[in-house]
Amino acid sequence: MQLKIDNKEIYAREGETILEAAARTGISIPTMCHRDGIEHYSSCMVCMVREKKTGSFIPSCSALVREGMEIDASGAEVISIRKRAVELLLSEHRAECEAPCRVVCPAGYNIPKMNRFLASGKISEAIELALSEIITPEIKCITCPGYCENACRRKKVDIPISIRNIQLFVSRNIKSDNSSDNTEVRNDLNKLFSSRIGRLDDSELREWLKECTDPGARFSDINDFQSAGSEAQSCMHCDCRASNDCALREIAQEFSIKDPVGKLIYAPIAKKINQKTGLIFENAKCIKCGLCVRVCEDSKDEPALCFMHRGFISIISEPLIEEFNNILATQAEKCIEICPTGALSRFK
């Protein structure tokens, strides 16, 4: 069967979706709620295309090809409606892509990730991370006034994590011959799209930019990986675990969208943690695409995630009659893997 996508003549098979036909010819259409091999659902509407004859917009992930169809997959109108879909999704996405410490770090070190490695005793991974980040001959923390520690959320509770000390300690463990001649500047976080929960308070911002004068009780004595690990345990993991692997962030970046002001509030920000499998679920990051529901089989022996309620207040949740600890005993990895955002992640 013959059709046109962006004025390109395409032959497609009966029963194929527009998305599939387009992909075969190298026309890429963004999508978030669709994965090959899983029954389509058409929820995110980011894959919108326009049928030229009728002028109507259709989700290409579930719309089937028809003889003589003319599809507009990249026109201004199409891009505008896709952008709007992403903006709407972001408007209920109450989450932060990056932790404050990393945002303010002049070198852009992935501090929360380092803390997670150390806290769980993954020493070689920690060293590797340091190695990849420390591009210049020596670590920046030596001369840095410690913005990260000012920004650390732990400071609001008690005292900030001794970030600089941890980083310095890890950097000392890098064998000097390992340092590559990487002169490329780090990926500038400020240019990346970043979602925020609320508007950044002026006073908070000022705090971040101040030089650290209060070294805190934890500042000294990190001399071995054990003490580094126990210090790192206090990290509150303010970042999103999917910050490098988030379809929503990528697409927002691609469309140069700004994080919307005035987010809609419904889904709770709280994290649900499954103590048995380490599965973490954050409703406020969920785009309700239902991939996790569709990919896992729900059974009496192993209950899975499900949709609950209807409309704007619909959420993904454990079943009413089950505890979060008892779900997805064997399938947790599968749904973390498929989640397009950081709503489902693993405690590492």
Partner 1 sequence: MHFRKLSRQEVNIDSKGCDCKTGTDPDIASIVKEVVEATGREKDKVIQILQEVQKKLNYLPSEALKEICRVTEITPGQISGVSTFYNQFRHLPVGKHTIKICAGTACHVKGSQLISEAFKRDLKIDEYTSTSPDDLFSIEEVACLGCCTLAPVVQIDGKTYGHVKPTQAQEIISDFLLTHKEEIHLNDDNKGNDFDAEVRIGLGSCCVAGGSKEILGRLFELREEYDLNIKLKAVGCVGVCNQTPLLEIITKTNAHSRYTNVRKEQVEDILLKHIKPKSLNKKLKYRINDLADTFIFDGKLNSPVNIPIESREKFLNNFLSRQVRIATYNSGILSPVSLDEYLLLDGFEALRKCVHLYDPESIIEMILKSGLRGRGGAGFPTGEKWKIFSGDSGAPKYVVCNGDEGDPGAFMDRMLLESFPFRIIEGMLIAGFSTGATEGIFYIRAEYPLAVSRVNNALKLCYEKGIIGDKVFNSGFSFNIRVFEGAGAFVCGEETALIASLEGKRGTPHLRPPYPAEVGFMGKPTLVNNVETLSLVPWIINNGAEAFSTIGTEKSKGTKVFALAGKIAKGGLIEVPMGITIKDIVEKIGNGVGEGRTFKAVQIGGPSGGCIPASMSDTAIDYEELTRMGAMMGSGGLVVLDDTDCMVDVTKYFLTFTHKQSCGKCTFCRVGTKHMLEIITRLSEGKADPKEIDVLEKLCNEVKSGSLCGLGKTAPNPVITGLKYFREEFEAHAKGYCPAKKCRDLIRYEINDNCTGCTKCFQECPVNAIAFKPYEKHIIDQSLCTKCDNCRVVCPDNAVEIVNIRDAAKD
Gyration radius (Cα) of the chain, Å: 23
Cα–Cα distance, 261 to 101 (Å, whole number): 22
User: Which residue stretches of the chain are H helix?
Assistant: 18-24, 76-91, 100-104, 111-119, 123-133, 147-151, 154-157, 163-172, 202-209, 225-232, 247-254, 291-295, 332-338
CB of 262 to partner 1, least distance (A): 9
- Residue 57 DSSP symbol: E
Query: Judged by CB, which is closer to partner 1: 33, or 103?
Result: 33
CB of 96 to partner 1, least distance (A): 20
Query: Judged by CB, which is closer to partner 1: 50, or 116?
Result: 50
The crossing angle, in degrees rounded to 10, of helices 163-172 and 111-119 is 70
Query: Judged by CB, which is closer to partner 1: 8, or 309?
Result: 309
CB of 53 to partner 1, least distance (A): 15
Query: Judged by CB, which is closer to partner 1: 246, or 306?
Result: 306
Listed residue (148, 340, 317) closest to 235, CA to CA: 148
Query: Judged by CB, which is closer to partner 1: 81, or 168?
Result: 81
CB of 319 to partner 1, least distance (A): 4
Contact criterion met (CB below 8 Å) for 168 and 71: no
CB of 244 to partner 1, least distance (A): 24
CB of 85 to partner 1, least distance (A): 5
Query: Judged by CB, which is closer to partner 1: 59, or 146?
Result: 59
Supply the DSSP string of 85-146, one letter for each residue: HHHHHHHT----SS-HHHHH-TT---HHHHHHHHHTT-HHHHHHHHHHH--SSS-GGGT---
Query: Judged by CB, which is closer to partner 1: 157, or 308?
Result: 308
The amino acid sitting at 28 is S
Binding site for partner 1 (CB under 8 A): 41-46, 48, 56-59, 62-64, 81, 84-85, 88-89, 91-92, 264, 287-288, 293, 298-300, 303-314, 317, 319-322
CB of 314 to partner 1, least distance (A): 3
Rounded to 5 degrees, φ, ψ at 64 are -85, 150
